[in-house]
Amino acid sequence: MKKLFVLSVTVMAIAFVGCNPQITKQEFAPKMYSEHPLSIVVLPPINNSTAADAKEYYTTTIAEPLTNCGYYVFPLEVVNDILKQEGLFDTETMMNVPVQKFREFFGADAVLFVTIEKWNTSYLITSGSVTVTIRCELKSTVTGEVLWFYDDTVTVDTSGDSGGAGGWAGLIAKAVTTAIKTAATQYVPLARKANEKILLAIPYGKYHGSYNADGQMKIEKKTNPDKK
């Protein structure tokens, strides 16, 4: 029995470690553990993808997972209106505003900058998929420094079900199903999936049960291309 346990733990450890370099949350984002930001304002994302709607899909789904990680998140619709009152209409302009200003506007401890790098829909005859790549950067409104960053990619398979009919008729039917399914993929669940995956790597906030106790949790190491 003991052997079984050791074996299962080993298998799990291998499965979790994979081939990518691992790092603890504490080592990866030490400033999160010294500064303890609580309230986060999420700015409208920068959209580098070819999907024009990606921005909307994304913003409606970020509050849920971020609050569930223990943070206070300002409601995005209200935030957008306030930003407009400040004369800030697009994210590119917001990028040039000193981060400290957002403490003044909202009383926020940190600002989350999001970039949608990819939102690709692709389908071949019998297989389709949507790939989403998102990059996040959390900056302190006290020091202006980067507290945490992460990026990740989620791919959802939208292939049509393999129907019973064979031959050409079956193949055509399958191609049609795949195309329809890929086009009609539910975008909100997809954006949600991408968010949830990225936020696995954020240290927990004050409202989470494991607040301050997750420093040794291992995550996949990433390098921030913005950091000079």
* Residue 95 binds another protein (CB under 8 A): no
Binds another protein (CB under 8 A): choice among 85, 96, 216, 223: 85
Of 15 and 19, nearer to another protein (C-beta) is 15
Binds another protein (CB under 8 A): choice among 68, 100, 126, 127: 68
Three-class secondary structure of residue 195 per DSSP: helix
Cα distances from 126 to residues 42, 132, 148, 155, 183, in angstroms, run 38, 20, 40, 16, 14
Q: Which residues 6+ apart lie within 8 Å of 126 measured at CB? A: 159, 160, 171, 174, 175, 178
* Residue 184 binds another protein (CB under 8 A): no
Binds another protein (CB under 8 A): choice among 60, 91, 120, 131: 60
- 219, amino acid identity: I
Instruction: Name the minimum Å distance from CB 57 to another protein.
Output: 7
Binds another protein (CB under 8 A): choice among 32, 46, 54, 69: 69
Count other Cβ atoms within 10 Å, centred on residue 35: 16
Binds another protein (CB under 8 A): choice among 106, 119, 123, 150: 106
Q: How far is CA 55 from the centre of its chain?
A: 13
Of 74 and 113, nearer to another protein (C-beta) is 74
Interactions with another protein, residue window 16-55 (CB under 8 A): 16, 38-39, 53
* Residue 114 binds another protein (CB under 8 A): no
Judge whether 134 and 114 are in contact, CB under 8 Å: yes
Judge whether 215 and 33 are in contact, CB under 8 Å: yes
Structure tokens at 36: 């303890």
Instruction: Name the minimum Å distance from CB 168 to another protein.
Output: 39
DSSP per-residue codes, 2-42 = HHHHHHHHHHHHHHHHTTS-EEEHHHH-HHHHHH---EEEE
* Residue 208 binds another protein (CB under 8 A): yes
Per-residue binding string, another protein, 161-180, x by CB under 8 A, is: --------------------
* Residue 64 binds another protein (CB under 8 A): yes
